[in-house]
Structure 1
Amino acid sequence: MKKALITGANRGIGLELTKRLAHKGLFVILGVRTEAHATRTKQTLVADGIDPDQIDHVLIDLNDADSIKKATGYVAEKHPDLDLLVNNAGIAGDMQKATLATTPAEYQATWNVNVLGTLQVIQQLVPVLKKHQSQIVNLSGPNFATPFYNPAAYRVSKIALNGLIQSIAIDFYNEKAPVEIYGIFPGGVTTDINNNRTGKFMKTVQEAGEQLMAIIFDGKDHNGDIVGADQKIISAVKFTM
Protein backbone atom coordinates (compact mmCIF):
# COMPACT_ATOMS: atom_id res chain seq x y z
CA MET A 1 0.00 0.00 0.00
CA LYS A 2 1.37 3.40 -0.97
CA LYS A 3 1.69 6.00 1.76
CA ALA A 4 1.10 9.74 1.83
CA LEU A 5 1.82 12.44 4.40
CA ILE A 6 -0.48 15.43 4.09
CA THR A 7 0.24 18.53 6.15
CA GLY A 8 -2.75 20.61 7.18
CA ALA A 9 -4.88 17.48 6.80
CA ASN A 10 -7.63 18.49 9.21
CA ARG A 11 -9.55 20.98 7.09
CA GLY A 12 -10.13 22.51 3.69
CA ILE A 13 -8.19 21.21 0.72
CA GLY A 14 -5.97 19.12 2.98
CA LEU A 15 -8.90 17.18 4.42
CA GLU A 16 -10.55 16.72 1.03
CA LEU A 17 -7.32 15.46 -0.53
CA THR A 18 -6.72 13.13 2.42
CA LYS A 19 -10.17 11.59 1.93
CA ARG A 20 -9.58 11.07 -1.77
CA LEU A 21 -6.12 9.57 -1.30
CA ALA A 22 -7.44 7.17 1.32
CA HIS A 23 -10.36 6.14 -0.87
CA LYS A 24 -7.85 5.47 -3.65
CA GLY A 25 -6.19 2.96 -1.33
CA LEU A 26 -3.28 4.95 0.08
CA PHE A 27 -2.28 4.82 3.73
CA VAL A 28 -2.63 8.41 4.94
CA ILE A 29 -0.54 10.13 7.60
CA LEU A 30 -2.29 13.21 8.91
CA GLY A 31 -0.03 16.17 9.56
CA VAL A 32 -1.93 18.26 12.13
CA ARG A 33 -1.06 20.67 14.91
CA THR A 34 -3.00 19.18 17.84
CA GLU A 35 -4.29 15.84 19.10
CA ALA A 36 -7.81 17.29 19.00
CA HIS A 37 -7.37 17.97 15.28
CA ALA A 38 -6.10 14.42 14.78
CA THR A 39 -9.04 12.88 16.66
CA ARG A 40 -11.67 14.89 14.79
CA THR A 41 -10.05 14.24 11.43
CA LYS A 42 -9.83 10.49 12.04
CA GLN A 43 -13.48 10.45 13.06
CA THR A 44 -14.40 12.30 9.87
CA LEU A 45 -12.43 9.87 7.72
CA VAL A 46 -13.87 6.78 9.40
CA ALA A 47 -17.38 8.19 9.04
CA ASP A 48 -16.58 8.58 5.33
CA GLY A 49 -15.90 4.84 5.09
CA ILE A 50 -12.13 4.77 5.53
CA ASP A 51 -10.53 1.95 7.53
CA PRO A 52 -9.00 3.34 10.76
CA ASP A 53 -6.04 0.98 10.25
CA GLN A 54 -5.29 2.99 7.11
CA ILE A 55 -4.65 6.17 9.11
CA ASP A 56 -1.81 7.50 11.25
CA HIS A 57 -0.99 11.02 12.38
CA VAL A 58 1.85 13.27 13.45
CA LEU A 59 1.75 16.57 15.28
CA ILE A 60 3.54 19.18 13.20
CA ASP A 61 3.70 22.96 13.36
CA LEU A 62 5.48 24.54 10.39
CA ASN A 63 6.42 27.52 12.54
CA ASP A 64 8.35 25.30 14.98
CA ALA A 65 11.59 23.65 13.87
CA ASP A 66 11.58 21.19 16.78
CA SER A 67 8.04 20.12 15.93
CA ILE A 68 9.02 19.55 12.30
CA LYS A 69 12.08 17.53 13.27
CA LYS A 70 10.12 15.35 15.69
CA ALA A 71 7.27 14.73 13.24
CA THR A 72 9.49 13.92 10.27
CA GLY A 73 11.66 11.72 12.46
CA TYR A 74 8.60 9.69 13.40
CA VAL A 75 7.57 9.35 9.76
CA ALA A 76 11.08 8.30 8.72
CA GLU A 77 11.14 5.61 11.42
CA LYS A 78 7.58 4.30 11.20
CA HIS A 79 6.88 4.89 7.50
CA PRO A 80 10.17 4.52 5.60
CA ASP A 81 8.17 3.52 2.52
CA LEU A 82 6.57 6.98 2.21
CA ASP A 83 5.74 7.63 -1.47
CA LEU A 84 3.97 10.96 -1.44
CA LEU A 85 4.51 14.16 0.54
CA VAL A 86 1.79 16.78 0.17
CA ASN A 87 2.84 20.16 1.55
CA ASN A 88 -0.57 21.70 1.99
CA ALA A 89 -0.29 23.52 5.33
CA GLY A 90 0.19 27.26 5.20
CA ILE A 91 -1.03 30.59 6.51
CA ALA A 92 -2.59 33.45 4.59
CA GLY A 93 -1.91 36.53 6.65
CA ASP A 94 -4.29 39.44 6.11
CA MET A 95 -5.51 38.83 2.56
CA GLN A 96 -7.31 42.19 2.40
CA LYS A 97 -4.36 44.36 3.40
CA ALA A 98 -2.66 46.53 0.78
CA THR A 99 0.89 45.61 -0.18
CA LEU A 100 2.62 48.64 1.34
CA ALA A 101 0.39 48.57 4.41
CA THR A 102 1.51 45.00 5.15
CA THR A 103 4.28 45.10 7.75
CA PRO A 104 7.65 43.35 7.51
CA ALA A 105 6.56 41.18 10.44
CA GLU A 106 3.48 40.05 8.50
CA TYR A 107 5.58 39.19 5.45
CA GLN A 108 8.01 37.33 7.72
CA ALA A 109 5.22 35.34 9.36
CA THR A 110 3.92 33.95 6.06
CA TRP A 111 7.48 33.38 4.85
CA ASN A 112 8.37 31.41 8.00
CA VAL A 113 5.51 28.96 7.53
CA ASN A 114 4.87 28.81 3.79
CA VAL A 115 8.51 28.80 2.68
CA LEU A 116 10.91 27.96 5.50
CA GLY A 117 8.58 25.53 7.28
CA THR A 118 7.86 23.72 4.03
CA LEU A 119 11.58 23.67 3.21
CA GLN A 120 12.39 22.01 6.53
CA VAL A 121 9.78 19.30 6.00
CA ILE A 122 11.26 18.55 2.59
CA GLN A 123 14.84 18.56 3.88
CA GLN A 124 14.01 16.12 6.66
CA LEU A 125 12.05 13.67 4.48
CA VAL A 126 14.08 13.68 1.26
CA PRO A 127 16.39 10.88 2.51
CA VAL A 128 13.30 8.68 2.91
CA LEU A 129 11.72 9.72 -0.38
CA LYS A 130 14.94 9.15 -2.34
CA LYS A 131 14.82 5.44 -1.55
CA HIS A 132 12.15 4.85 -4.20
CA GLN A 133 10.00 6.61 -6.79
CA SER A 134 8.16 9.37 -4.99
CA GLN A 135 6.50 12.74 -5.33
CA ILE A 136 6.57 15.98 -3.37
CA VAL A 137 3.44 17.98 -4.13
CA ASN A 138 3.19 21.56 -2.91
CA LEU A 139 0.01 23.62 -2.82
CA SER A 140 1.22 26.89 -4.24
CA GLY A 141 0.17 29.99 -6.13
CA PRO A 142 0.68 31.70 -9.48
CA ASN A 143 3.84 33.52 -10.53
CA PHE A 144 1.76 36.20 -12.21
CA ALA A 145 -0.08 39.16 -10.69
CA THR A 146 -3.68 40.18 -11.23
CA PRO A 147 -5.73 43.05 -9.77
CA PHE A 148 -8.40 40.49 -8.90
CA TYR A 149 -6.08 38.51 -6.59
CA ASN A 150 -3.43 40.32 -4.60
CA PRO A 151 -3.12 39.08 -0.99
CA ALA A 152 0.35 40.55 -0.58
CA ALA A 153 2.06 38.53 2.17
CA TYR A 154 0.50 35.27 1.02
CA ARG A 155 1.22 35.81 -2.68
CA VAL A 156 4.83 36.84 -2.13
CA SER A 157 5.45 33.75 0.02
CA LYS A 158 3.95 31.48 -2.64
CA ILE A 159 6.08 33.05 -5.39
CA ALA A 160 9.11 32.33 -3.20
CA LEU A 161 7.86 28.78 -2.68
CA ASN A 162 7.65 28.30 -6.45
CA GLY A 163 11.27 29.38 -6.76
CA LEU A 164 12.25 26.95 -4.02
CA ILE A 165 10.36 24.10 -5.70
CA GLN A 166 12.13 24.69 -9.00
CA SER A 167 15.57 25.00 -7.39
CA ILE A 168 15.07 21.67 -5.61
CA ALA A 169 13.81 20.15 -8.86
CA ILE A 170 17.09 21.10 -10.55
CA ASP A 171 19.02 19.38 -7.76
CA PHE A 172 16.91 16.23 -8.15
CA TYR A 173 17.50 16.30 -11.92
CA ASN A 174 21.26 16.72 -11.54
CA GLU A 175 21.41 13.94 -8.94
CA LYS A 176 19.14 11.67 -11.03
CA ALA A 177 17.10 11.24 -7.86
CA PRO A 178 13.90 9.16 -8.16
CA VAL A 179 11.88 12.06 -6.74
CA GLU A 180 9.82 14.68 -8.51
CA ILE A 181 8.81 17.92 -6.85
CA TYR A 182 6.24 20.32 -8.21
CA GLY A 183 3.65 22.89 -7.24
CA ILE A 184 -0.06 23.00 -7.93
CA PHE A 185 -2.00 26.26 -7.96
CA PRO A 186 -5.58 25.17 -7.27
CA GLY A 187 -7.09 28.55 -8.10
CA GLY A 188 -9.72 30.16 -5.91
CA VAL A 189 -11.12 27.64 -3.44
CA THR A 190 -13.69 28.41 -0.75
CA THR A 191 -11.95 27.53 2.53
CA ASP A 192 -11.28 28.93 5.99
CA ILE A 193 -8.03 30.49 4.76
CA ASN A 194 -10.00 33.08 2.77
CA ASN A 195 -12.92 33.30 5.21
CA ASN A 196 -14.96 30.97 2.98
CA ARG A 197 -15.07 33.46 0.15
CA THR A 198 -17.45 32.61 -2.68
CA GLY A 199 -17.96 34.03 -6.13
CA LYS A 200 -17.63 33.54 -9.85
CA PHE A 201 -13.99 32.46 -9.75
CA MET A 202 -14.22 30.30 -6.63
CA LYS A 203 -14.67 26.53 -6.44
CA THR A 204 -15.56 24.06 -3.70
CA VAL A 205 -12.97 21.90 -1.95
CA GLN A 206 -14.59 18.90 -3.63
CA GLU A 207 -13.97 20.41 -7.06
CA ALA A 208 -10.41 21.31 -6.09
CA GLY A 209 -9.78 17.83 -4.69
CA GLU A 210 -10.87 16.20 -7.93
CA GLN A 211 -8.57 18.47 -9.95
CA LEU A 212 -5.60 17.85 -7.64
CA MET A 213 -6.03 14.09 -7.81
CA ALA A 214 -6.12 14.25 -11.61
CA ILE A 215 -2.72 15.99 -11.63
CA ILE A 216 -1.08 13.82 -8.97
CA PHE A 217 -2.07 10.62 -10.77
CA ASP A 218 -1.77 11.73 -14.40
CA GLY A 219 1.39 9.65 -14.87
CA LYS A 220 3.43 12.60 -16.13
CA ASP A 221 6.83 13.73 -14.87
CA HIS A 222 6.09 17.13 -13.34
CA ASN A 223 9.50 17.72 -11.78
CA GLY A 224 9.95 21.49 -11.57
CA ASP A 225 6.48 22.32 -12.86
CA ILE A 226 4.02 24.77 -11.40
CA VAL A 227 0.71 23.35 -12.59
CA GLY A 228 -2.67 25.05 -12.76
CA ALA A 229 -5.89 23.38 -11.70
CA ASP A 230 -6.74 22.96 -15.39
CA GLN A 231 -3.55 20.84 -15.72
CA LYS A 232 -1.85 23.52 -17.82
CA ILE A 233 1.78 24.27 -16.94
CA ILE A 234 2.12 27.78 -15.51
CA SER A 235 5.90 27.61 -15.17
CA ALA A 236 8.49 24.93 -15.91
CA VAL A 237 12.21 24.33 -15.63
CA LYS A 238 14.07 23.89 -18.92
CA PHE A 239 16.33 20.96 -18.14
CA THR A 240 17.70 20.75 -21.67
CA MET A 241 18.74 23.49 -24.08
Structure 2
Amino acid sequence: MKTALITGANKSIGFETARILAQKGYFVYIGSRDIGKGEEAVNQLKADGLTTLQAIQLDVTNLDSITAAQQFINDKDGKLDVLINNAGISGALPQSAESIDVAIVREVFDTNFFGVIQVTQAFLPLLRKSETAVIVNVTSGLGSLTLHSDPSWPYYNFKSAAYGTSKSALNSYTIVLAYELRDTPIRVNAVDPGYTATDFNHHQGPLKVEDSAAFVAQYALIGADGPTGKFFSHDYQSNNHESPW
Protein backbone atom coordinates (compact mmCIF):
# COMPACT_ATOMS: atom_id res chain seq x y z
CA MET A 1 0.00 0.00 0.00
CA LYS A 2 1.26 3.46 -0.87
CA THR A 3 1.75 5.90 1.98
CA ALA A 4 1.28 9.65 2.26
CA LEU A 5 2.07 12.26 4.88
CA ILE A 6 0.19 15.56 4.91
CA THR A 7 1.31 18.27 7.30
CA GLY A 8 -1.38 20.46 8.85
CA ALA A 9 -4.00 17.92 7.78
CA ASN A 10 -6.41 18.05 10.70
CA LYS A 11 -8.65 20.60 8.98
CA SER A 12 -9.61 22.40 5.76
CA ILE A 13 -7.76 21.61 2.54
CA GLY A 14 -5.27 19.25 4.18
CA PHE A 15 -8.11 17.29 5.77
CA GLU A 16 -10.06 16.94 2.53
CA THR A 17 -6.88 16.00 0.65
CA ALA A 18 -6.34 13.23 3.19
CA ARG A 19 -9.87 12.02 2.50
CA ILE A 20 -9.22 11.84 -1.24
CA LEU A 21 -5.93 9.95 -0.89
CA ALA A 22 -7.49 7.47 1.54
CA GLN A 23 -10.30 6.92 -0.95
CA LYS A 24 -7.64 6.22 -3.57
CA GLY A 25 -6.17 3.44 -1.45
CA TYR A 26 -3.32 5.28 0.25
CA PHE A 27 -2.45 4.93 3.91
CA VAL A 28 -2.49 8.56 5.03
CA TYR A 29 -0.67 10.06 7.98
CA ILE A 30 -2.50 13.14 9.17
CA GLY A 31 0.19 15.43 10.50
CA SER A 32 -1.07 17.75 13.20
CA ARG A 33 0.74 20.03 15.64
CA ASP A 34 -1.97 19.14 18.18
CA ILE A 35 -2.24 15.34 18.26
CA GLY A 36 -5.70 15.58 19.81
CA LYS A 37 -7.02 17.52 16.83
CA GLY A 38 -5.32 15.06 14.51
CA GLU A 39 -7.05 12.14 16.20
CA GLU A 40 -10.39 13.96 15.97
CA ALA A 41 -9.83 14.35 12.22
CA VAL A 42 -9.01 10.65 11.84
CA ASN A 43 -12.10 9.65 13.83
CA GLN A 44 -14.25 11.84 11.60
CA LEU A 45 -12.88 10.22 8.45
CA LYS A 46 -13.24 6.75 9.92
CA ALA A 47 -16.87 7.54 10.73
CA ASP A 48 -17.25 8.18 7.00
CA GLY A 49 -16.02 4.66 6.27
CA LEU A 50 -12.32 5.33 5.66
CA THR A 51 -9.89 3.19 7.64
CA THR A 52 -6.38 3.73 6.22
CA LEU A 53 -5.49 6.79 8.28
CA GLN A 54 -3.45 7.62 11.35
CA ALA A 55 -2.82 10.84 13.21
CA ILE A 56 0.79 11.73 13.87
CA GLN A 57 2.09 14.58 15.99
CA LEU A 58 4.08 16.89 13.76
CA ASP A 59 5.05 20.48 14.40
CA VAL A 60 6.98 21.64 11.33
CA THR A 61 8.81 24.27 13.41
CA ASN A 62 10.12 21.72 15.90
CA LEU A 63 12.96 19.49 14.75
CA ASP A 64 12.43 16.96 17.57
CA SER A 65 8.80 16.58 16.52
CA ILE A 66 9.80 16.10 12.87
CA THR A 67 12.47 13.54 13.77
CA ALA A 68 10.05 11.55 15.91
CA ALA A 69 7.45 11.51 13.12
CA GLN A 70 10.05 10.38 10.60
CA GLN A 71 11.23 7.59 12.91
CA PHE A 72 7.66 6.43 13.49
CA ILE A 73 6.86 6.17 9.77
CA ASN A 74 10.22 4.58 9.06
CA ASP A 75 9.64 1.91 11.69
CA LYS A 76 6.09 1.23 10.52
CA ASP A 77 6.44 1.40 6.72
CA GLY A 78 10.09 1.85 5.85
CA LYS A 79 9.23 4.27 3.06
CA LEU A 80 7.04 7.20 2.07
CA ASP A 81 5.41 7.68 -1.34
CA VAL A 82 3.86 11.13 -1.02
CA LEU A 83 4.78 14.16 1.07
CA ILE A 84 2.39 17.11 1.01
CA ASN A 85 3.84 20.14 2.76
CA ASN A 86 0.52 21.74 3.55
CA ALA A 87 0.98 23.35 6.99
CA GLY A 88 1.03 27.12 6.80
CA ILE A 89 0.12 30.33 8.60
CA SER A 90 -0.80 33.78 7.35
CA GLY A 91 0.63 35.85 10.19
CA ALA A 92 -0.94 38.95 11.70
CA LEU A 93 -2.44 41.35 9.17
CA PRO A 94 -1.98 43.89 7.66
CA GLN A 95 1.56 43.27 6.44
CA SER A 96 3.05 46.50 5.16
CA ALA A 97 6.62 46.29 3.88
CA GLU A 98 7.27 49.67 5.50
CA SER A 99 6.06 48.86 8.99
CA ILE A 100 5.67 45.13 9.60
CA ASP A 101 7.27 43.80 12.76
CA VAL A 102 10.17 41.59 11.67
CA ALA A 103 9.12 39.11 14.36
CA ILE A 104 5.95 38.44 12.37
CA VAL A 105 7.97 37.81 9.22
CA ARG A 106 10.21 35.38 11.08
CA GLU A 107 7.21 33.55 12.54
CA VAL A 108 5.58 33.13 9.13
CA PHE A 109 8.79 32.04 7.43
CA ASP A 110 9.48 29.58 10.23
CA THR A 111 6.34 27.62 9.31
CA ASN A 112 5.86 28.33 5.61
CA PHE A 113 9.49 28.14 4.48
CA PHE A 114 11.94 26.77 7.02
CA GLY A 115 9.39 24.24 8.22
CA VAL A 116 9.01 22.86 4.71
CA ILE A 117 12.78 22.53 4.33
CA GLN A 118 13.11 20.74 7.68
CA VAL A 119 10.29 18.28 6.93
CA THR A 120 11.46 17.62 3.37
CA GLN A 121 15.04 16.96 4.38
CA ALA A 122 13.93 14.63 7.17
CA PHE A 123 11.66 12.56 4.92
CA LEU A 124 13.76 12.46 1.75
CA PRO A 125 15.48 9.21 2.82
CA LEU A 126 12.05 7.54 3.03
CA LEU A 127 10.89 9.08 -0.25
CA ARG A 128 14.00 7.74 -1.95
CA LYS A 129 12.89 4.22 -0.98
CA SER A 130 9.67 4.61 -2.99
CA GLU A 131 9.54 3.47 -6.62
CA THR A 132 7.80 6.71 -7.58
CA ALA A 133 7.61 9.44 -4.96
CA VAL A 134 5.94 12.84 -5.02
CA ILE A 135 6.50 16.04 -3.07
CA VAL A 136 3.79 18.71 -3.20
CA ASN A 137 4.63 22.08 -1.70
CA VAL A 138 1.33 23.83 -1.09
CA THR A 139 1.89 27.42 -2.12
CA SER A 140 -0.20 30.44 -3.06
CA GLY A 141 -0.77 32.57 -6.11
CA LEU A 142 0.34 35.41 -3.84
CA GLY A 143 3.84 33.96 -4.17
CA SER A 144 4.02 34.63 -7.91
CA LEU A 145 6.38 37.53 -8.60
CA THR A 146 5.23 37.70 -12.21
CA LEU A 147 1.56 38.05 -11.35
CA HIS A 148 2.27 40.47 -8.51
CA SER A 149 3.96 42.72 -11.08
CA ASP A 150 0.89 42.74 -13.34
CA PRO A 151 -1.70 45.44 -12.43
CA SER A 152 -4.34 43.54 -14.42
CA TRP A 153 -4.08 40.47 -12.15
CA PRO A 154 -7.26 40.17 -10.03
CA TYR A 155 -5.23 39.87 -6.80
CA TYR A 156 -2.65 42.53 -7.65
CA ASN A 157 -3.59 44.64 -4.61
CA PHE A 158 -3.30 41.74 -2.15
CA LYS A 159 0.27 42.41 -1.08
CA SER A 160 1.69 40.88 2.10
CA ALA A 161 5.22 41.38 3.35
CA ALA A 162 5.31 38.10 5.30
CA TYR A 163 2.84 35.58 3.85
CA GLY A 164 3.32 36.34 0.15
CA THR A 165 7.07 36.61 0.44
CA SER A 166 7.24 33.31 2.34
CA LYS A 167 5.43 31.60 -0.53
CA SER A 168 7.76 33.23 -3.08
CA ALA A 169 10.66 31.76 -1.11
CA LEU A 170 8.91 28.39 -1.02
CA ASN A 171 8.47 28.50 -4.78
CA SER A 172 12.17 29.19 -5.23
CA TYR A 173 13.06 26.29 -2.95
CA THR A 174 10.75 24.04 -5.00
CA ILE A 175 12.66 24.91 -8.18
CA VAL A 176 16.01 24.12 -6.56
CA LEU A 177 14.77 20.86 -5.03
CA ALA A 178 13.19 19.66 -8.27
CA TYR A 179 16.41 20.40 -10.11
CA GLU A 180 18.51 18.44 -7.63
CA LEU A 181 16.10 15.48 -7.81
CA ARG A 182 15.64 15.64 -11.61
CA ASP A 183 17.41 12.31 -12.21
CA THR A 184 15.43 10.46 -9.55
CA PRO A 185 11.84 9.12 -9.62
CA ILE A 186 10.80 11.88 -7.19
CA ARG A 187 8.48 14.52 -8.66
CA VAL A 188 8.43 17.94 -6.97
CA ASN A 189 5.90 20.68 -7.67
CA ALA A 190 4.45 23.81 -6.08
CA VAL A 191 0.65 23.68 -6.03
CA ASP A 192 -1.67 26.58 -5.22
CA PRO A 193 -5.15 25.40 -4.18
CA GLY A 194 -6.49 28.86 -5.01
CA TYR A 195 -8.48 31.45 -3.13
CA THR A 196 -10.56 29.04 -1.06
CA ALA A 197 -13.11 29.72 1.66
CA THR A 198 -11.47 28.33 4.82
CA ASP A 199 -10.93 29.49 8.38
CA PHE A 200 -7.45 30.49 7.20
CA ASN A 201 -9.02 33.54 5.51
CA HIS A 202 -12.24 33.86 7.55
CA HIS A 203 -14.09 31.80 4.94
CA GLN A 204 -13.59 34.25 2.12
CA GLY A 205 -12.79 33.22 -1.43
CA PRO A 206 -14.90 31.78 -4.26
CA LEU A 207 -13.53 28.21 -4.24
CA LYS A 208 -14.84 25.28 -2.19
CA VAL A 209 -12.53 23.33 0.10
CA GLU A 210 -13.42 20.02 -1.55
CA ASP A 211 -12.59 21.32 -5.03
CA SER A 212 -9.31 22.86 -3.94
CA ALA A 213 -8.32 19.66 -2.13
CA ALA A 214 -9.04 17.72 -5.32
CA PHE A 215 -6.70 20.09 -7.17
CA VAL A 216 -3.90 19.42 -4.68
CA ALA A 217 -4.54 15.67 -4.73
CA GLN A 218 -4.33 15.65 -8.53
CA TYR A 219 -0.64 16.53 -8.33
CA ALA A 220 -0.01 14.21 -5.39
CA LEU A 221 -1.23 11.28 -7.49
CA ILE A 222 1.07 11.77 -10.49
CA GLY A 223 3.43 9.00 -11.56
CA ALA A 224 7.10 8.94 -12.47
CA ASP A 225 6.25 10.42 -15.87
CA GLY A 226 4.43 13.37 -14.30
CA PRO A 227 5.60 16.98 -14.29
CA THR A 228 8.30 18.22 -11.96
CA GLY A 229 9.66 21.64 -11.12
CA LYS A 230 6.35 23.32 -12.02
CA PHE A 231 3.96 25.76 -10.36
CA PHE A 232 0.28 24.88 -10.75
CA SER A 233 -2.51 27.17 -9.57
CA HIS A 234 -6.22 26.46 -9.23
CA ASP A 235 -6.84 30.16 -9.84
CA TYR A 236 -4.75 30.35 -13.01
CA GLN A 237 -6.87 29.10 -15.88
CA SER A 238 -4.39 29.38 -18.75
CA ASN A 239 -1.82 26.80 -19.85
CA ASN A 240 -3.45 23.89 -17.97
CA HIS A 241 -3.19 25.77 -14.67
CA GLU A 242 0.59 26.16 -14.96
CA SER A 243 1.25 29.51 -13.30
CA PRO A 244 4.15 31.84 -14.01
CA TRP A 245 6.65 32.08 -11.19
Question: TM-score when scaled to structure 1?
Answer: 0.89
For residue 99 of structure 2, the aligned residue among 88, 98, 101 is: 101
The one-letter code sitting in structure 2 at the alignment partner of 1:215 is Y
1:170 aligns with 2:179: yes
SS of alignment partner, residue 188 of structure 1: coil
1:58 aligns with 2:43: no
For residue 159 of structure 2, the aligned residue among 142, 146, 150 is: 150
SS of alignment partner, residue 29 of structure 1: strand
Shift of 1:95: 3.9
Matches of 2:159 and 2:19, distance apart in 1? 30
Aligned to 2:79: 81
Cα-Cα RMSD:
1.7
The unaligned stretches of length 5 or more in structure 1 are: 237-241
Aligned to 2:152: none
Deviations 1:153-201 (A, max 9, x none): 111000000000110111112xx22211111011101111112224xxx
Shift of 1:110: 0.8
Aligned to 1:239: none
User: Is the Cα–Cα contact under 8 Å of residues 190 and 232 in structure 2 kept in the other structure?
Assistant: yes
1:226 aligns with 2:231: yes
Shift of 1:218: 5.2
The one-letter code sitting in structure 1 at the alignment partner of 2:54 is D
Shift of 1:38: 2.1
Matches of 1:217 and 1:5, distance apart in 2? 13
Matches of 2:157 and 2:222, distance apart in 1? 30
User: Is the Cα–Cα contact under 8 Å of residues 192 and 216 in structure 2 kept in the other structure?
Assistant: no
Matches of 2:115 and 2:26, distance apart in 1? 25
Shift of 1:212: 2.2
For residue 120 of structure 1, the aligned residue among 100, 113, 118 is: 118
Aligned to 1:205: 209
Pairing 1:175-194 to 2, within 5 Å after superposition:
176-194=183-201
1:159 aligns with 2:168: yes
Matches of 1:48 and 1:151, distance apart in 2? 38
SS of alignment partner, residue 151 of structure 1: coil
1:216 aligns with 2:220: yes
Aligned to 1:133: 132
Matches of 1:153 and 1:67, distance apart in 2? 25
User: Is the Cα–Cα contact under 8 Å of residues 95 and 194 in structure 1 kept in the other structure?
Assistant: no
Q: How many residues align?
A: 229
Shift of the 48–148 alpha-carbon distance from structure 1 to 2, 3 Å rule, reads farther
Pairing 1:6-85 to 2, within 5 Å after superposition:
6-51=6-51, 54-85=52-83
SS of alignment partner, residue 189 of structure 2: strand
Deviates more, 1:209-218 or 1:121-130: 209-218
Shift of 1:55: 1.4
User: Is the Cα–Cα contact under 8 Å of residues 32 and 60 in structure 1 kept in the other structure?
Assistant: yes
Shift of the 100–136 alpha-carbon distance from structure 1 to 2, 3 Å rule, reads same
Shift of the 101–2 alpha-carbon distance from structure 1 to 2, 3 Å rule, reads same
Matches of 1:5 and 1:50, distance apart in 2? 16
Shift of the 194–95 alpha-carbon distance from structure 1 to 2, 3 Å rule, reads farther
Deviations 1:61-111 (A, max 9, x none): 112121111112222222223110011001110243323222111111111
Question: TM-score when scaled to structure 2?
Answer: 0.87
Matches of 1:217 and 1:27, distance apart in 2? 13
User: Is the Cα–Cα contact under 8 Å of residues 17 and 213 in structure 1 kept in the other structure?
Assistant: yes
Matches of 1:89 and 1:47, distance apart in 2? 24
Shift of 1:235: 4.1
Identity of matched residues, % = 30
